[in-house]
């Protein structure tokens, strides 16, 4: 994967986020007053596509036009931090496109845009940089936001890629698809498609219109994203693949198109066909709409999700690494979900565990179970334990409907892990005092709660093992 190179050319932007609390209305006008606590800067537009590519473990380079201003400096810094190759071209008197959003309690209150027409600037330097970067590119993405960075030179860009036999994927914004003639694939959403092809009376009409545009524009295919109806990959009127939408809670569709085209490019760069690439992109779209803002999908997330069969509730995909857990928990907290966490050996899963975990899950929206690895169980329980290996214990826990994530830890206590997660409620079974429980200090300091649940009488792993030994002896 890290040997692949994907070139993204298009309208780059800087996304600025002001986060703060809102508790009163301004006396000057009927608007909320936001006390800004944090400012974030992220690559936007075509640069966000590059961010999505990098998240998949693939090297990316982004080419676009910016001004000689503070926003350009911040964008360049953000690209460097994300390990994206910076091929931005500065133009005198240009304004770097910047979108500033004011966010309070996960709600966007207002967006302020700074931009200027950059279509009139000299595009010769851009074409020269693209020609150079195509020498090592596996796929080229044209990310057209109709801001002028590539509009005047779309055909020269496509011809440069065709000369190098580099596939060209386009996320179109104009209603005239003929300007993308010769590209490999277009990825319009339904409204963009109908703006170019005309209103579709039904699915068959959509296919007919898509096939006609593909022929007229000398394309290989078109992937139409259709919201709750999923996606349709059309090669011609007789070669169509419909992909149903992945059933997930939709939280934010921002940037989903960037994720789709990034996954398509990555899959094609690996040598997959368009059908396989479209299937992966469809799964990725289902993941990213469950996240806040212009998010991305990691290779690990996509790989796990691709293994889940339709109808599966919980599978081994619930077993996560610490890095994956922290990423998922961050997304869940951004959605306002309450995180519950517990831990233990869970050597032999029994009815007491199931009742206890169900009680814990009922306290919130997501339940994390942290599990002692085999070495820490031995230190805690003795050389004869565990009876079941870590992999088997985690798989059984992941199969329980009430468990959302299962993660392993190797220390004697999960305190470090708990303090990284900072759950809303930390739950433990037994006769502990809350202050005795590992993680109590950091959880309560962050506003969380530590709760002790009663064990169910007569149900314990140690008692079960002893009973088995006694029965085998007789």
The listed range with the strongest mean pLDDT (20-29, 128-137, 304-313, 398-407) is 128-137
Confidence of residue 247 (pLDDT cuts 50, 70, 90): low
Q: 389: how many CB neighbours lie within 10 A of its CB? A: 13
Closest among 279, 261, 361, 251 to 314, alpha carbons compared: 361
Mean pLDDT of the chain: 86
333 vs 62, higher pLDDT: 62
3 state DSSP class of 207: helix
Superfamily, domain 318-473: HUPs (3.40.50.620)
Confidence of residue 253 (pLDDT cuts 50, 70, 90): very low
Residue 104 and residue 22 in contact, taking contact as beta carbons nearer than 8 Å:
yes
Per-residue pLDDT, averaged over 453-458, amounts to 65
- Which residues, at least 6 apart from 189, have a Cβ–Cβ distance to it below 8 Å? 224, 225, 226, 227, 257
Confidence of residue 474 (pLDDT cuts 50, 70, 90): low
Number of residues in the chain: 474
Superfamily, domain 5-306: Ribokinase (3.40.1190.20)
Confidence of residue 251 (pLDDT cuts 50, 70, 90): very low
Whether the pLDDT of residue 367 is over 50: the answer is yes
Per-residue pLDDT, averaged over 221-226, amounts to 93
* CB hemisphere CA count around 15 (13 angstroms): 19
Residue 412 and residue 377 in contact, taking contact as beta carbons nearer than 8 Å:
no
pLDDT at 352: 80
Q: 434: how many CB neighbours lie within 10 A of its CB? A: 14
Confidence of residue 355 (pLDDT cuts 50, 70, 90): confident
Confidence of residue 1 (pLDDT cuts 50, 70, 90): low
**For a pLDDT cut of 70, what percent of the chain falls above it?**
88
Per-residue pLDDT, averaged over 108-115, amounts to 91
Confidence of residue 456 (pLDDT cuts 50, 70, 90): low
pLDDT at 313: 44
Residue identified by tokens 């000057």 is: 28
48 vs 384, higher pLDDT: 48
Whether the pLDDT of residue 310 is over 60: the answer is no
* Domain segments of the chain as ranges: 5-306, 318-473
3 state DSSP class of 319: strand
pLDDT at 219: 96
Confidence of residue 264 (pLDDT cuts 50, 70, 90): very high
Q: Cα–Cα distance between 214 and 225 in angstroms, integer?
A: 16
Whether the pLDDT of residue 250 is over 50: the answer is no
- In tens, the pLDDT along 381-410 reads 888 778 888 988 898 898 888 899 999 999
pLDDT at 44: 92
249 vs 57, higher pLDDT: 57
Q: Cα–Cα distance between 469 and 370 in angstroms, integer?
A: 28
**For a pLDDT cut of 90, what percent of the chain falls above it?**
54
Q: Which of the residues 144, 258, 347, 404 is marked catalytic?
A: 258
Per-residue pLDDT, averaged over 301-325, amounts to 66
Q: Which of 224-238, 301-315, 425-439 has the lowest mean pLDDT?
A: 301-315
Closest among 212, 147, 145, 172 to 158, alpha carbons compared: 172
Would residue 258 show up in a list of annotated catalytic residues for this protein?
yes
pLDDT at 332: 79
Q: Cα–Cα distance between 92 and 75 in angstroms, integer?
A: 17
């Amino acid at each position: 994967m890290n040997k692949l190179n994907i070139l993204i050319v298009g309208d780059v932007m800087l996304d600025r986020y002001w986060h703060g609390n809102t508790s009163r209305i301004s006396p000057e006008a009927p608007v909320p007053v936001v006390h800004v606590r944090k400012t974030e800067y992220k690559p936007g537009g075509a640069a966000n596509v590059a961010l999505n590519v990098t998240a998949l473990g693939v090297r990316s380079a982004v080419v676009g036009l910016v001004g000689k201003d503070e926003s350009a400096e911040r964008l360049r810094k953000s690209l460097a931090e994300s390990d994206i190759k910076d091929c931005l071209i500065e133009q005198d008197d240009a304004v770097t496109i910047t979108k500033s959003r004011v966010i309070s309690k996960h709600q966007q209150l207002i967006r302020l845009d700074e931009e200027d027409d950059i279509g009139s600037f000299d595009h010769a330097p851009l074409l020269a940089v693209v020609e150079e970067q195509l020498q090592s590119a596996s796929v080229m993405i044209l990310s057209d936001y109709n801001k002028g960075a590539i509009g005047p030179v779309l055909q020269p860009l496509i011809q440069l890629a065709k000369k190098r036999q580099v596939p060209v994927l386009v996320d179109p914004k104009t209603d005239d698809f003929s300007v993308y003639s010769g590209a490999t694939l277009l990825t319009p959403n339904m409204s963009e498609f109908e703006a170019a092809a005309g209103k579709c009376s039904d699915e068959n009409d959509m296919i007919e219109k898509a096939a006609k545009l593909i022929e007229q524009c000398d394309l290989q295919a078109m992937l139409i994203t259709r919201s709750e109806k999923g996606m349709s990959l059309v090669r011609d009127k007789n070669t169509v693949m419909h992909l149903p939408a992945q059933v997930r809670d939709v939280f934010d569709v921002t940037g989903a198109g960037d994720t789709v085209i990034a996954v398509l490019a990555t899959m094609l760069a690996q040598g997959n066909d368009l059908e396989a690439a479209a299937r992966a992109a469809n799964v990725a779209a289902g993941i990213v709409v469950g996240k806040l803002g212009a998010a991305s999908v990691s290779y690990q997330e996509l790989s796990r999700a691709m293994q889940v069969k339709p109808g599966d509730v919980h599978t081994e995909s619930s077993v996560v690494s610490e890095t994956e857990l922290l990423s998922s928990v961050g997304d869940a907290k951004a959605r306002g979900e309450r995180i519950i966490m517990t831990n233990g050996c869970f050597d032999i899963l029994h009815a007491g565990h199931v009742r206890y975990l169900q009680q814990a899950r009922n306290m919130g929206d997501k339940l994390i179970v942290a599990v002692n690895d085999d070495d820490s169980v031995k230190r805690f329980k003795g050389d004869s334990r565990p009876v079941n290996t870590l992999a088997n214990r985690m798989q059984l826990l992941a199969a329980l409907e009430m468990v959302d994530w299962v993660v392993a830890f190797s220390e004697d206590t999960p305190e470090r892990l708990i303090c990284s997660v900072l759950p809303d409620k930390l739950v433990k079974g037994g006769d502990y005092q809350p202050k005795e429980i590992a993680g109590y200090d950091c959880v309560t300091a962050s506003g969380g709660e530590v709760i002790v649940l009663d064990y169910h009488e007569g149900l314990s792993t140690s008692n079960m093992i002893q009973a088995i030994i006694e029965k085998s002896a007789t």
